Amino acid sequence: MQTREFFVSAPGKVILHGEHSVVHGKVALAVSLNLRTFLRLQSTSSGEVHINLPNIDTFLSWEITALQPLLAGCKAEQGGVKELDADLLKRLREFTGISEDSTDTRSMAVLAFLYMYLSVFAESLASITVSVWSELPTGAGLGSSAAYNVCLSAALLSARGNISYPLTPQQESARWSKEEMELINRWAFMGEKIIHGNPSVVDNAVGTWGGFLRYHAGNITPLSWVPILRILLTNTKVPRSTKVLVSGVKDKINKFPSVMKPVLESVSAVSCACEQTLTEMAAHGPSAELYNILEELIDINQHHLNVMGVGHSSLDTLCRVTLARGLHSKLTGAGGGETDTSVIQSTVEELKACGFDCWETSIGAPGVQQHSSAALSQDIPKILHSY
């Protein structure tokens, strides 16, 4: 390992349309958020691996000699990671005592970290300390798991020497090459598989590449012509697990295939209609009529998501409150919408009175990056250094 300490970050995401149906091969439109997860990796000589996850109050360490036996029989990945190593995952579950049906926040984060660390460093386990802190709420549908996995993947692969450290001494932030980012994305997907069970690739793709993406059946197309959308994010703070929701939708499709398949198809059509409307806005300028179409599509999609069984009474409250002020909302894994200025403040106040967290954020942030410590707001290195 060449560098003693370095920092990386990756953004969260909002899915405009296509959550859940994307898992079943349909079109999704997603955009990165200007809310990021930050990771500090430090090489040490302690003979231990430390992970500090202050957002979820988790601080753990292991002796490398205790981890080494878990690798018995494992082949080191030569960069072409495609499938989860089920045997390694099983040994890790036994070692950590994390059962297969666990969706516990801490357990999932620890399992994803240990799996990636052991796989990437299989040839020679290194003493490192990894600290991760995020601006994203955890488990609120904003892709915190993907931002976490993308950061882990980028940092571990760099530290292992599988990809470069792109930052030069003159730079504040830098990105990896296309090939390196593809590798980051593939390893991040392994982490998503551990946390989500059956993820699409959308969240880790947005965390890796950033910007606005169209995703369909393995093909990622960046969209560069999107008009400015103001997104009012609302976190209803109702705890839920993506893994459980995704598997619930699958059960529903299996139980009522002829009812549910047209719903997935319709969501896909909503994504395409939204994409077409955004293209028209970019070509001819936004108009009230086009914004109206975007709003109607949001309402239609939210109804479809309710049909899939991933709604919640708190989301119904949110939609009711915002609609009373002429705003249209849908969940994004769990929440999103679009707006006009004077109405926002009063809507935010009313949503906060319902017990929800609410904030406006910008979209289209860059994907995974390496940063100099000086380039980060002072608070972030301070938080990451304090563990």
Ligand X SMILES: Nc1ncnc2c1ncn2[C@@H]1O[C@H](COP(=O)(O)OP(=O)(O)O)[C@@H](O)[C@H]1O
Which sequence positions are flagged as catalytic?
145, 203
Question: 281 contacts which partner out of Mg ion, ligand X, ligand PMV, none, CB within 5 to 8 A by kind?
Answer: none
In the list 23, 31, 88, 308, the residue contacting ligand PMV (rule: CB under 6 A) is: 23
> Between 197 and 227, whose beta carbon lies closer to Mg ion?
197
> Taking CB under 6 A as the rule, does residue 141 contact ligand PMV?
yes
> Between 14 and 270, whose beta carbon lies closer to ligand X?
14
Judge contact between 39 and 151, C-beta under 8 A.
Answer: yes
In the list 32, 129, 153, 200, the residue contacting ligand PMV (rule: CB under 6 A) is: 200
Residues in the site for ligand X, rule: CB under 6 A?
Answer: 37, 53, 55-56, 105, 108-109, 132, 134, 138-145, 148, 195-196, 241-242, 333
> Taking CB under 5 A as the rule, does residue 234 contact Mg ion?
no
> Between 141 and 367, whose beta carbon lies closer to ligand PMV?
141
> Taking CB under 6 A as the rule, does residue 20 contact ligand PMV?
yes
> Taking CB under 6 A as the rule, does residue 11 contact ligand PMV?
no
> Between 85 and 203, whose beta carbon lies closer to ligand PMV?
203
Query: Smallest gap, in angstroms, from Cβ of residue 171 to ligand PMV?
Result: 30
Query: Smallest gap, in angstroms, from Cβ of residue 242 to ligand X?
Result: 3
In the list 199, 207, 210, 211, the residue contacting ligand PMV (rule: CB under 6 A) is: 199
Q: Is 305 exposed, middle or buried (0-12, 13-18, 19+ CB in 10 A)?
A: buried
Question: 277 contacts which partner out of ligand PMV, ligand X, Mg ion, none, CB within 5 to 8 A by kind?
Answer: none
Piece of the chain touching ligand PMV by CB under 6 A; list 108-116, 140-148, 253-261, 378-386: 140-148
> Between 141 and 211, whose beta carbon lies closer to ligand PMV?
141
Question: 331 contacts which partner out of Mg ion, ligand X, ligand PMV, none, CB within 5 to 8 A by kind?
Answer: none
> Between 197 and 227, whose beta carbon lies closer to ligand PMV?
197
> Between 70 and 146, whose beta carbon lies closer to ligand PMV?
146
SS3 of the chain: the string is CCCCEEEEEEEEEEEEECCCHHHHCCCEEEEEEEEEEEEEEEECCCCEEEEEEHHHCEEEEEEHHHHHHHHCCCCCCCCCCCCCCHHHHHHHHHHHCCCCCCCCHHHHHHHHHHHHHHHHCCCCCCCEEEEEEECCCCCCCCCHHHHHHHHHHHHHHHHHCCCCCCCCCCCCEECCCHHHHHHHHHHHHHHHHHHHCCCCCHHHHHHHHECEEEEECCEEEEECCCCCCCEEEEECCCCCCHHHHHHHHHHHHHHCHHHHHHHHHHHHHHHHHHHHHHHHHHHHCCCHHHHHHHHHHHHHHHHHHHHCCCCCHHHHHHHHHHHCCCCEEECCCCCEEECCHHHHHHHHHHHHHCCCEEEEECECCECCEEECHHHCCCHHHHHHHCC
Task: Please give the size of the binding site for ligand PMV, defined by CB under 6 A.
Answer: 17
> Taking CB under 6 A as the rule, does residue 145 contact ligand PMV?
yes
Piece of the chain touching ligand PMV by CB under 6 A; list 138-146, 169-177, 267-275, 341-349: 138-146
In the list 333, 337, 367, 381, the residue contacting ligand PMV (rule: CB under 6 A) is: 333
> Taking CB under 5 A as the rule, does residue 322 contact Mg ion?
no
> Taking CB under 5 A as the rule, does residue 145 contact Mg ion?
yes
Contact residues toward ligand PMV (CB under 6 A) are 15, 19-20, 22-23, 141-143, 145, 196, 199-200, 202-203, 242, 246, 333
